[in-house]
Amino acid sequence: MIKKEFAKIGKQIIRQLSSTVEKYKDIEDHMDLDAHGNPTIKTVAEHHRLSKSQISQLIFYHFLHVDERGIICDVSEKEIAAALNCTVRTVRNNNVVLAETELISYSRSGKGINICIVPYPQYFEEHGFGFMELEYTRFEELILIENVNALRLELRKELVYDNDTIKRQFNPGENTSKISFNDYKIFTPKYTHYKGMMQKIAETQTSAFKTVVQGSTIFFVLKDGAKNGKMSKQEKKDQYDAAIRRTIEETFVKLSGHSTDSTGIVMSSFQNEDIADLVQLSFEYGIERVKSALYSLIEQAFFSHDAQVVENYGGKIRTLIRKELSKNLQDQVPAELTAS
């Protein structure tokens, strides 16, 4: 199972995971009749708090290969369980709850399960709530937090800090974000609604934020050297862009035997949009897979006897990677045959 380095997670989902998930239900009110004597229909909101395991599992799904509809195909329950350090039974029970709260739908497939993250398309709508980037290494740290309320608070800090990005553009020197005690009470369970408990929960320190409780307010700032998802991804984008351009030049030099001064013809074939597509594929499949596929593509497109014009480098690279992954999967020996 290939996991992406960064996941795009809807801000509304993060808000609900750190608080309660709202599920709307129509019910008949037999005490309030309409003009024809029929019970009226009222919409009520049910509020559900997810467990630490359920929160982690839903976030984890965002790191898999999700298409624009929010669909993930042929996911192994065993691999999900291994990534989350839980049992397959827990994975299945969590899926039932996530489906009941209408966050996902799922079905069995020949290779595991198919999953649909129901609200996923809404993340990218023009008038939607938007999304935030989360790095997988940060996610690995989050799922190690034992206290579920500390996890909820940490997710809320990620959300608040990301939302404060616009504010920091106008005041670059102000890097501190805050959550007031009143805000804290909105998204946490009632039994935590006193300052001693808030202080205890906020004391869970991670590598991302330095947190201080002063009076009735939780103040937090990124630690020295730490980056939030948006900052980390931009840094990786620059690294991958440079690596891909360097790979194109070095591959051409190796295959042609010419010096780097002769790479203009091949570099001119790759537009900035092509490079951007390859950078995105690097986030999905890893930079090494993209570089390997890029070598094969250049060899086929520029140095083979039956070379053909490539109109979509990103699409071609994706096809090459998928073929290689499919071949590797077919070549794997079933685990049942190698188990002792």
Domain that residue 271 falls in? 227-321
- Residues 2-8: what's their mean pLDDT? 91
Residues 248 and 266 in one domain: yes
**Residue 136, pLDDT above cutoff 80:** yes
Does 326 map to a domain? no
Residues 242 and 257 in one domain: yes
Residues 124 and 207 in one domain: no
Residues 106 and 18 in one domain: yes
Q: Of the residues 68, 102, 129, which one is the last residue of a structural domain? A: 129
Residues 314 and 238 in one domain: yes
Two tokens, residue 73: 């195909």
Residues 97 and 157 in one domain: no
Residues 93 and 9 in one domain: yes
Residue 41: name the closest of 54, 53, 25 by CA: 25
Selected residue with higher pLDDT from 279 and 228: 279
Which pLDDT value is given to residue 32? 72
Does 246 map to a domain? yes
HSE, side-chain direction, 13 A CA sphere, residue 318: 13
Q: Which of 97-106, 292-301, 311-320 has the highest mean pLDDT?
A: 97-106
**Residue 259, pLDDT above cutoff 70:** no
Selected residue with higher pLDDT from 267 and 280: 280
Number of domains the chain is built from: 3
Residues 207 and 278 in one domain: no
Does 335 map to a domain? no
Which pLDDT value is given to residue 226? 84
Q: What is the CATH number of the domain that holds 112?
A: 1.10.10.10
Does 304 map to a domain? yes
Q: How confident is the model at residue 307 (pLDDT cuts 50, 70, 90)?
A: low
Range in 66-75, 131-140, 284-293, 298-307 the model is least confident about:
298-307
Residues 162 and 256 in one domain: no
Within 8 A by CB and 6+ apart from 223, the residues are 207, 208, 209, 210
CA 188 to CA 186: how far, in whole Å? 6
**Statement: the pTM of the whole predicted model exceeds 0.85:** no
Residues 171 and 237 in one domain: no
Which pLDDT value is given to residue 337? 40
